Amino acid sequence: MKTIVLLSISNIFMTVAWYGHLKYKSAPLISVVLVSWLIAFFEYCFQVPANRIGHASFSAAQLKTIQEVISLTIFGIFSVLYLKEAFTLKCAAGFSFIALGAYLIFQR
């Protein structure tokens, strides 16, 4: 559970770092890059421990899969609430196929 919590926190930081600037298109690109880089530092502060702790229970492929599912979930919420973009049926279908792939990774 600790791994999932840490990965979730790290993904919140990374989503903001990668996509938060889209609301500020008039900001100079260098400023956006530097602020995003600073935010991403905090992502690493959670991501690295999550992977260290998680690797005791999960394979690297499973950790990456968990991270991707969390990332898509957080991104979906972020894009709707912060960027005010619609979550379409096509997005839901695409994310569902990715979730199916994640399910397959965890099958023995």
Domain span including residue 35: 2-105
- pLDDT per residue rounded down to tens, the chain (108 residues): 999 999 999 999 999 999 999 999 999 999 999 999 999 999 999 999 999 999 999 999 999 999 999 999 999 999 999 999 999 999 999 989 988 988 888 887
Q: CA quadruple 58, 63, 65, 66: dihedral positive or negative? A: positive
pLDDT at site 58: 95
Burial class (CB in 10 A: 0-12, 13-18, 19+), 54: buried
The confidence score (pLDDT) of residue 4 equals 96
pLDDT score, position 106: 85
Total domains in the fold of the chain: 1
Task: Say what the pLDDT of residue 107 is.
Answer: 85
Q: 59 — alpha (psi -120 to 50), left (phi > 0) or beta? A: beta
Maximum separation of any 2 CA atoms in the chain, in Å:
50
